[in-house]
Structure 1
Amino acid sequence: MAEYILAHDLGTSGNKATLFSVSGEMAGSSISAYETHYFNEKWAEQNPKDWWNAVCISTKQLIDQLNISPSDIKVVSFSGQMMGCLCVDENGVPLRDSIIWADQRAQKQVKDLEKHISQEEFYKIVGHRNTASYGIQKLMWLRDNEPDVYAKTYKTLNAKDYIVFKLTGSFYTDYSDGNSMGCFDLEKLEWSERILDISGIDHNKLPELKPSTFVAGGVTEEAAKATGLAAGTAIVIGAGDGVTASIGAGSVSEGKTYCSLGTSAWITTTSKKPIFDPEMRTVTWAHAIPGLYAPNGTMQYAGGAFNWMKETICVSEKNEAKNTGGSIYEYINKQIEETPAGSNGLLFLPYLLGERAPRWDSVSKGSYIGITSETTRGDMLRSVLEGVTYNLAIILDILKSHISIEEMTVIGGGAKSEVWRQIMADAFNVKMNVPSLLDEAGSMGAAIIGGVGIGLYENFDIVDQFITISDSQQSNKQNYQIYDQAKKQFDEFYFALRRVFEQQLKGVD
């Protein structure tokens, strides 16, 4: 009789339920979508009831599609969107919609914290900057603007924590989601009394912290009826999506590194200690593996910049693909492949939505630099990929200054492009490995956490049984020399133009 692990990945657009066999093969998946409500320019909320409905629907669909017995599922575990703020009463009933990671309303609360704790001190405690993205600032906003909700709040939860409650009746969070609250002591792995005291938030309104592998309990009879799971099935709390992806991408020991190349992109490695960058350009997450950390740098718009290029510059390629029945990506990639490394001196700053790491700059814009009468269409296309890669390379250089990194796994939609993977291998000067499953790292990581949690696996080395590397690319040393010089120019141009972008903003104001 086959045995399975069920992983739920609660993302921004929906929940994906994925079933893995205990031996590591993906058996199937089911997706159930839900809405995000964007309003007031910087506000973003979701209804937690939609999360629960999506979990129930996707679980039932998956069990029915694969025609398995619910009792064959030995454990359920989670990956989930981080940096949220869902207030519930003592019965676990939501008091309002959840303020999600994308919400930026808590700007005043950031400044309130800054009056009593510097960015540098905050960063040294949490491993992150004090920004409106994190949970504690959002909870402060609710206290200041919706005092009735705050007064009734028993616990503040992230998405996966709410689903764990719905399944077991218990309130917990793991260290990674605790870290995303912005009031977590990264080295002590506990709530920071200093930050909580400064914030004025009641410590008791935060859930109990546990390791990601902690078994929160078994599925209740009520939850079993709603989901189709067997009552008593073990529930492991899992981790935030950025951290589960680390597990699913094989970043389970010191120096193991991966890049996720989607609309946004990030590079994450694994270390035995937090990496505190003197300029605070990178962040560090609590890893799902006890005793380890996940230093990270996330850029705002990577595949997003490519998509902008595809939709605006590549109109003729789009029409040609439509007329021939071919792929627009084939036409784009052909031109990029025929263009030499360095795009004949053309540089592209990929800051179409400002930038997070390594700039932390909401002002800067996207820019082409170095256009001449000889600049070709291929130069313009290739320079977009190179510009994104240079920005990621600066993040990688910061991590490399603390830890040895010789190879990297790349996942996400951008990893489908062989020419982009080669640009990355050349600019990063590392071997790039491509897994056969590019979009399952979060689910796979959650499944492995669940398996370790209930003792199906001795440790996280089992990830090698889940991941199959389908391709790899070595760095071209000659291209590396070209890119190393271009990356320095890229950095210099950014700082030269930043004042211009600031003046543009003042002109608009």
Structure 2
Amino acid sequence: MDKYILAHDLGTSGNKATLFHESGKLIDSYISSYSTNYFNEIWVEQNPNDWWEAVCSSTLNILKNSNIDPKQIEVVSFSGQMMGCLVVDENGAPLRPSIIWADQRAVKQSAELAESISQTEFYHIVGHRNTPSYGIQKLMWIRDNEPEIYEKTYKVLNAKDYIVYKLTGEFVTDYSDGNGMGCFDLETLTWSNRIVEASKIDIAKLPDLKPSTYQAGVVTPNAAKATGLAEGTKVVIGAGDGVTANIGAGSVKEGKTYCSLGTSAWVTTTSKKPIFDADMRIVTWAHAIPGYYAPNGTMQYAGGSYNWMKEALCQAELQQAKQEGDSPYERINNKIEKAAAGSNGVLFLPYLLGERAPRWDTVSKGSFVGIKSDTTHEEMLRSVVEGVTYNLGIIYDILKEHIEIDDLMVIGGGAKSEIWRQIIADVFQLPVHIPDYLDEAGSMGAAIIGGVGAGLYDSFDVIENFLHIQNSQQPNPQNAEIYQLAKKQFDDFYFALQKVYEKHKNQY
């Protein structure tokens, strides 16, 4: 009898259930959406019951559409949004909505931690900077502002951990989501006593830490009724979405590197030890594969800058595409391709929402520089894509100081653009590959983690059965010098303008 793996990817906008045959073939997927509550300017919450309803709905639809016997599903595994804070009681009941990754309310708590632990020390324990984004700071906020809820808290969980509890009755998390709590020792893979003590959080409220391949249990009778899964189906805990994507993008051995081009974008590699950058420009995650780490730099607004450009600068292309019934993206990319590498000296700094890596700057704004009387529309458009790529290129430069990188896998919506892929190849001076599925890295990674954890696969090398290269592009050596100089100018302009934005920050 054929065996299948069901992977759930709990994102910010919904849950994607994806069914894979044990051979690696993608059978079907189904998305169930849920809402996000944005309020008080920087507060962002979700109802965890919506996650569970989405998992139940998507599972039932997958089973119905695929017409397979639930008993053929060997294992369920997970990818999930990271850096959240869901507090539950001893019965697993949520005590309040989950404070998700995008929430920035814990500014005071982050500052409180900084009084006891320097940014440098924190970074060298966790692999990340101390910011309001992480789980421990959010739990401190609950303690300080909702003490009655904090007192009732039995465990703090992330999205996938809550669903694992709903399926099995077990409270656990994996190393990657533990890392996202912000109180995790990256080298010992344990909770950091140093940070927990400084936070004054009760360590008993943190869940048990396990490898991503850990089998938490099996589907209980109640969970089987709700989801349509067979009672006794294995449940493997999986990992945070930023780490499962490593697996699904083929980054399963040292130096294997990928770039994800979505609204935000990142460059991530795989290494045998954490990478601690002297200027703390990148972060390191605990990898889903035992013995490995996932050094990473994430920029704030990559595809987001492209979409801004589309709406602000490409109304003619949008109107023409609507009239002709074709793709505005194809029209825009054709315009970009007409401009020469380097955009005739025009540079775009893609800091429309400030920046994470490599800047860690909330003040700077997006900027065009180098515009001249003969600057064309095509050059303006190309400069936007090049500016995003320069920023990603700086992240890549930091990574390659520590590890040898031979090529780059590119995934996500932006990877559909052939000209953007070529610009990446030319800026990075690396061969660029795209897989047959651009948006399945998280689900695919979760499935492979589940398969290894359930004993279906001996190693993560099975990715070769799941991931197939569809297209490759080679770097153009003639553009190497152009882009090397342009990237240096890009950096110089950032540091010059950052002083101006900092001086006038109260006017923005």
* TM-score, length-scaled by structure 1: 0.99
Separation (CA, whole Å) in 2 of partners of 1:186 and 1:149: 29
For residues 1-31 of structure 1, the C-alpha deviation after alignment (integer angstroms, 9 at most, x for no partner) is 3210000000000000000000000000011
Separation (CA, whole Å) in 2 of partners of 1:313 and 1:335: 12
For residues 223-275 of structure 1, the C-alpha deviation after alignment (integer angstroms, 9 at most, x for no partner) is 00000000000000000000000000000000000000000000000000000
Q: What secondary structure sits across from 2:426 in the alignment? A: helix
Separation (CA, whole Å) in 1 of partners of 2:278 and 2:42: 30
Aligned twin of 1:105: 105
Aligned twin of 1:57: 57
Separation (CA, whole Å) in 2 of partners of 1:368 and 1:93: 50
Structure 2: which amino acid aligns with 1:435?
A: P
Aligned twin of 1:173: 173
Separation (CA, whole Å) in 2 of partners of 1:149 and 1:405: 47
Aligned twin of 1:268: 268
Whether 2:240 is the aligned partner of 1:240: answer: yes
1:98-247 pair list within 5 angstroms? 98-247=98-247
Separation (CA, whole Å) in 1 of partners of 2:323 and 2:230: 52
Once the two structures are TM-superposed, the CA of residue 331 in structure 1 deviates from its matched residue by: 1.4
Separation (CA, whole Å) in 2 of partners of 1:477 and 1:267: 22
Once the two structures are TM-superposed, the CA of residue 178 in structure 1 deviates from its matched residue by: 0.1
Once the two structures are TM-superposed, the CA of residue 348 in structure 1 deviates from its matched residue by: 0.2
Once the two structures are TM-superposed, the CA of residue 105 in structure 1 deviates from its matched residue by: 0.1
Separation (CA, whole Å) in 1 of partners of 2:309 and 2:380: 9
Structure 2: which amino acid aligns with 1:99?
A: I
Q: Name whichever of 297-306 and 313-322 sits farther off.
A: 313-322
Separation (CA, whole Å) in 1 of partners of 2:317 and 2:93: 52
Whether 2:397 is the aligned partner of 1:413: answer: no
Aligned twin of 1:3: 3
Aligned twin of 1:304: 304
Separation (CA, whole Å) in 2 of partners of 1:47 and 1:107: 23
Q: What secondary structure sits across from 1:115 in the alignment? A: helix
Aligned twin of 2:363: 363
1:235-384 pair list within 5 angstroms? 235-384=235-384
Whether 2:483 is the aligned partner of 1:483: answer: yes
Structure 2: which amino acid aligns with 1:206?
A: L
Q: What secondary structure sits across from 2:41 in the alignment? A: coil
For residues 431-461 of structure 1, the C-alpha deviation after alignment (integer angstroms, 9 at most, x for no partner) is 1000010000000000000000011000000
Separation (CA, whole Å) in 1 of partners of 2:46 and 2:88: 14
Structure 2: which amino acid aligns with 1:129?
A: R
Structure 1: which amino acid aligns with 2:20?
A: F
Q: What secondary structure sits across from 1:442 in the alignment? A: helix
Aligned twin of 1:81: 81
For residues 330-358 of structure 1, the C-alpha deviation after alignment (integer angstroms, 9 at most, x for no partner) is 21111111110000000000000000000
Number of matched pairs:
508
Separation (CA, whole Å) in 2 of partners of 1:326 and 1:243: 36
Once the two structures are TM-superposed, the CA of residue 504 in structure 1 deviates from its matched residue by: 2.1
Q: Where do 5+ consecutive residues of structure 2 fail to align?
A: none
Separation (CA, whole Å) in 2 of partners of 1:384 and 1:417: 14
Once the two structures are TM-superposed, the CA of residue 507 in structure 1 deviates from its matched residue by: 3.7
Structure 2: which amino acid aligns with 1:428?
A: F
Q: Where do 5+ consecutive residues of structure 1 fail to align?
A: none
Separation (CA, whole Å) in 2 of partners of 1:52 and 1:174: 19
For residues 183-226 of structure 1, the C-alpha deviation after alignment (integer angstroms, 9 at most, x for no partner) is 00000000000000000000000000000000000000000000
Separation (CA, whole Å) in 2 of partners of 1:212 and 1:334: 43
